[in-house]
Structure 1
């Protein structure tokens, strides 16, 4: 049989019943030149066409573009025990061969054995039992077709039917997106990404829009979605239907079309807004779903109460509010030269309105600071949220008033100009509202301790100043002033206290004044002398010898660090610091290893962060802010600050030196080297440090294995406090809200912190769960190579990282607890420390129920990435590349392991001998070898997917 590709529907070979009890050819399609007449389903699946074989002979083929095919065989086999005459040579199995066209050696052989055989024979015929077996093979990437053949080596059997098929995910509309028919991948565990496109009249909600097609032809893990756009509603989940006339839909989404609100209409299909009828409007803040409204009518019954230069206006609300509840009033003031409102002009800004003149909710306003004997017109307008939409002016009610005669307003304030022991001089500004010509001012004053306002002294002044004389030395006087016009006196100003000098104070001040006068005279003489000296010194011919020079001291360019650094960080003299070598780089500059020799103490190794040249003041402040935070902490699992260098360049932050560097790099370098109990001890140290930060009301915001440092004793310490913030505890739920943009470490950050930038100790707990996963996977990258957006989408769909290889169940459960969507359901750091302490005290809990495969069904592409890609391995080099251990290629080949069958015999001692010393690498290699051995023990040729390992349930 010859087929030109794998299958999605199927074809049936017309083997109605081919029986053979000896080796013979039952069908050879290579000799067929006419139509084969095989049964295919559906009609557009397999296509029968003519082609040529390697000898250019015409042959008939069935073709389709797929990478993996399945063969279903229905057959019967007779029990050899029922045929005594051929018992020695009889078999109950036969072989299935498959070969790609351009290969010369059979690529795959499967031995087919019957689940049930038959032996009973009667005169009515044989009672046969039908067996069904399915085999698959791939990938078929050659594009030139393949052969299938059946070989019988001594079985008495009947081949009833052969069905050759392939699998595909059908075209589908999901989440209002269309996904085309998609063939499955080359392996049964492969996931094939299908990109979707929005159906007509739908728009994207989240991008990218995609589905994953698994090896069974099923869609899974939808990412992204579409929804019906404005003017269209969903219909049966697969169609966006236009809103009919008289209805509308204003926004994109899953909502349905709505009837037009009152006083509005739509005359077209797919309307996103119903237009208001004539005379009706929507306000600027109204939504399309709100009723159209109209402007209010005029206020009613406007009355006034005049009191000298003030007036109170009152009115009733309009009869028609326009069907709105945002009614307000504006009061317009105009000053007129006559009551007939001729030659009116807007009132001065000095006129006061209480509570205001625009946007009034009450029907009353008090207006003051008007001019006396002046005519005014007041218009009261009723307005609402659509008044600015109307082409007509707002409805209003007007009233005319004339103010009465009024006294001057209050003098605002007084100032003391000078003072002696017997007098002081005062001044003041005129009243804001004189209400006529000021005739004079009356000043009232009295001794604060000996007198009262009843026996106070009076004095008049025609100007805005006065000198009060005949006062007592060192005495405080209460003074008030008021203005007078033809209408009489105004109100006294508020009481103010002024003090005369004592006799001694007066003499001292007089002496100082005399000294100042004398000093001024002497200073004038000195200035003249200095000018003369400067003129002489500028002429070298006026003296013998060189010209003298004068050096003036200047301020340095440096400046003190902020208050927090001064308070919490120790300043270190740069002469005590010795920089040795670069060990990394940070956001602000290089990181060095160095030595610190404090005065009177022994030299210690340190890490030195430096601020790069050309920094801005903000960069320097941000650089030192980390030191100001670190300096407040004193805990064994928090990196220790030794001090800062701010008074010389470069600016430095000096911390204790951690010999093993960042935790993620350290774990990758020592893959599989540590027992689980030691990893738990490291996690306990990190949790202890975070518990201390939480107790100090600090949120780290960037907790990750890369920001955990490890010393020579494998003690882990939390570092990198560049994003740390103090939590205000004036609420029951201390939260830090970031108002700035910038990057967020998505793979380590809690969903509420990503969505709303709300950072709490609970969001640090989420990050701790990711760190735990990093530790147990020896520095693997969380979520592998998924994009940040795909990570966010997966988390929103409740996907959580699976347990790493050999991770105890209790530790993975701790991770899942840290990844609770509800932040209040996550454990606190004290609880985490307690849980880890119990695990350390009871090591047996870490040995039971370990996970060798990720839990649960394969529902996400991340799980598929956990297994090594061994689908196309055909050599030792390919095998090592699939295991990501190409560094051992020369060791394997040089030690004689040059083929895969030889590799299957390798032992742990062999690995140690050829240089694979890391326990984790040895375990990974031996696990792969173990999966190879059952296949290699078979006498059949190796299959293309022989190294594939099941990582899914």
Structure 2
């Protein structure tokens, strides 16, 4: 009766609302399209699954239903026909559309009523027809509805399951009912392909989607790339993470997905993503596919000019070169106008050459002639020349130069000949006392300018005795005509003052102006002039002081170096530069009012803009939902929503929101992004970006062996980049583990969960001392466990454990060892062994992270650089580290107290975390450990183990069991 009732509901529902699904996938089985040709087997034949046919739009529509809820121990099976696997397809998707009746709607509902059914699969190389054996099937999933049907409004559920590691020619699906009221509306089996595509001028072929697969491509015609382009095909049939970019060759430009030749009159000089450019000025029209445009006749390019620059002509000669004598003696100024032809260049400069001419013969000027600002590379059309002699002919040549001057053939210089011809002789500016005695004075003097080199300069010296005060000036001057600028005057009176003045005489004897009067005194008795001696003594004193300063400086420098060596053992993670980053994290607990930190660092979100959809986890403070947030200008965005459970205390609320105050200070692609918080509402919420693939450890466990090594290293690089950012912010995470790293749909890893994190205190060692609280022993550095001191170096240790987790596909560090055993083993020097198929370079980096001396561990900046180099050279990842299955697979119960092997196969499978294969081993008849030891690789596959990672784990475990050395000896801790 109940079965008939649900069938009536199905007919009404199908006639009203069923819409055929259109899909682009490659369909292997479509229950709706098969119509009456289904031919599916049921077991038992009666009282189990029934086929229901209904007319929809003039066509028959078939469904399968079962509703045996009145009797217990139901075991109703429905098997599909043989489904052929396409070559190259190792993973398929199964889409089910079904209705499940609410058990509470049945009158006197049976305690045996269920609301779930099971999906099974069995591989085969040929169609076995009606030979239906349940033992050949392995369970894929338990199918549970999101909504159950309670009344006449039917609730249709859609579930999609992925079946991977297919290797045989085909397979069957089977549905097991154990007491539910179920109707199968549609069953579709399909696989996805990444379609052939051209991205960034690289062509990629159509590829069957199977987990994450790297696909090589080729550049389109007339394009090139330094490395072969690659891209990843996801299990969803989408192309992601393109690596390498093709660019059009020289003479070609990108037009959509192809490279087109440059049109005549255009050019492109190199391999790049640039477009073709119009030929620059003063160039000849170019042909098609031109890589450069040739210069017109008379125009040139400098060797340093790029091909994109215009051609230019060599400059002409400077114009209107003139000289002007300056007031400063021995100086003149040259000035000129730029050439008429400059070539249109911006690098025009001038150089000046000087020659001293005597008739037709010329020679370079003496080195003492100075040019201000210089003699070459002049930008301005003027220069000052100093230290010239008068009455001599100088020839100055000015040359205009540019980057193409070497190609020019016309004149580019201008010359002028000039002389300094002063009518008046130079003036005596100062008279010096060189020596004195009771009866003599030795004098010398200097001139305002140098006299001509070939002219004999004469001087007139006048002196007299200075009259005493009150005496009448009746003294007459003594006049001397001299041929040099020094004199020794004798026959003077002792202890007497004399007044001197000097003038220079012109070539014709014409006098110049007198100098100022200078007074000098003869001595009373004979004594040497002490001026020079005093100068020498003063020089000696200054020299001694300089030597003393040098000695002191050397001693101070040596002391500083010794001090630096003494500080060599300090923590290199927290140098002066490290303690003063550009941006530093601020601990929210430093604020007296925690709400101040929320207002400072976090955006408040309108609660009406956030809607919760589905529970995806449970946190420390409450449930975590997947939801949607309305973002102005961006529409709706998927978010994760952490909630605070009801009945919270004020301290719990502050602790809950403090994590948001921490996250709000970070902005990095590999740190989980905080969207904001809801605090002005009775249900406080923290809203972050939604990471579709969840926690990293769970994601890896579900894909053991399916992710290539290169992609795993790329994930580690992202985590390291995020931790480098935190370290640069003077921030210690304290709980870095794969469970606290989230993965989005693009397989980008982001560090999250800042519940245990704390800021570095500004002290000498940059550490934080905890005051109680739990410490994740398996991920924590030994110094942090022993002394409760955390640094970026302890985060590096934790990152090494995360590296091990990733390469071991989410395996638990140190397996089932207790925390006490872990601490004791680490202190005795034990380190985790290399996971299976782990590159040697990656394992060596792990060991560096686990050095006991934290000062010797690499910094996160070093780790990012190392991983970048490995990713840039994929060949470096091919060398695999040594692997010992007796160590890598912990077998704590290898023998009992009596020395026997595992007591049962299920016990052995549980010890290596492969309990899901208990039924498969039992169905295959492998029930003793002796039979396990006899298994070969092909036997393991026939039992039903398909995943490569699981096959390796079981095979290596068997290898370890065969070895006489028990793995317990390795862990004698």
Query: Which TM class, normalised by the smaller chain length?
Result: 0.3 to 0.5
Q: TM-score scaled to structure 2, two decimals?
A: 0.44
- TM-score, L = length of structure 1: 0.45
